[in-house]
A and B are shown apart, each in its own frame.
Chain A
Amino acid sequence: MSDIRADMTGREGTGDAGFRDYVQLLKPRVMSLVVFTAMVGLLVAPVRPHPVEALAAIIFIALGAGASGALNMWWDADIDRVMRRTAGRPVPSGSVAPGEALGLGLALSGISVVMLGLAANWLAAGLLAFTIFFYAVVYTMWLKRSTPQNIVIGGASGAFPPMIGWVAATGHISLEAVLMFMVIFMWTPPHFWALALFMNDDYTKARVPMLTVTHGRKVTRAHILVYTVALVPVAVGAAFTSIGGPIYLAVSLVLNALFLIGAWRIWRRPEEAATADKYAVEKKFFALSLAYLFGHFAAFLVEATPWADALARHLGWGF
């Protein structure tokens, strides 16, 4: 029957989505960031889990992130439909039914949490469950539509993966795990507000109370600078813990200097200049923010190698 209906109506709304549609539902690009940060959290930990356990832990953390992405797409289908950036997502485009997105999100949430508990430990599984809850319920259902501080508080859900990776390896939360969490947590507001500066029309149309919509671009520019200034000591400070070192310090100093200069330029920029060059500086800052996060976590990973350890000893690094 559905075949005939599909012939008549085309693909939209048939409920016969392709495999790729379901993969899109899990937000693969966000998942790749989760995989990377969780892997770094797990690999820089002082305890080395069995490689299969480590692989399984990363896969289930990523699956949990994907599950929360599916739940987000289920709940946000109405605003995704309005926004140009998200209109092509599986639910608003009609290739996946909302109920399917909800079902997949809930099923994968349960599977990922239970399997992480069995593969690693139940503290890591509990943190993953909390992350899914925080992203799907606290951020998506509550904060996103009610406060301009949505991405500040909601950013916590994106900051948990390296902490979960660390806990999966060690079984406990320590200062280093909190610092990795804090780097992403403090990085999220400038990253998203830079995006909001040049995608403001989307958020206005969808009535999402982003800071750019409720307080205007000038206030948002000031907030970007303030949060960037607050981020610097956290990111640089991580150099003086067991996961840092001289290589991380050098990378962090360069990236933070560039990030501060970018935030300063955004703050000083009049709106007319931004409109004239189609937000070139803001777009550049947004791209830099991705390199900033990747650079810091790559540096954490490098510091975990014996080669970096030897260099630190050679330099007399005492942290």
Chain B
Amino acid sequence: MPLTQEHELHKRRWGRNLGLGLTLGAFIALVFGLTIAKVQQGSQMQGFDHTYRIEMDPDARIPGANR
């Protein structure tokens, strides 16, 4: 039997690998989409970006400041 012969098993493995690949691709796309959606809605995110800026935090109380 030649080593290159295609067996039903190889077809099944190919199908499984393809299915897994597509599933992982869909998962990555979903996480990416979720990230975009979360970032777009993150209106208060800038207050905590890199350095905490108290003047942008709506919950923070700054003594003497007119808010």
Contacts and interface: CB of A to CB of B under 8 A. Distances in A.
Interface of A: 2-3, 6-7, 11, 14, 16-20, 22-23, 50-53, 55-56, 59, 118-119
Interface in B5-26: 7-9, 12-13, 15-16, 18-20
A118 B35 CA distance: 10
Given A6-B9, A50-B37, A56 B30 contact: yes
Interface of B: 7-9, 12-13, 15-16, 18-20, 30, 33-34, 36-38, 40-41
B36 A52 contact: yes
Contact of A16 (B9, B20, B36, B40): B9
Contacts, number: 48
A130 B34 CA distance: 24
Contact of B19 (A7, A11, A19): A19
B18 A19 contact: yes
Contacts of B41: 50
A22 B20 CA distance: 10
Given A18-B12, A19-B18, A53 B37 contact: yes
Contacts of A118: 34
Contacts of A22: 16, 19
B37 A52 contact: yes
Contact of A7 (B7, B13, B18, B30): B7
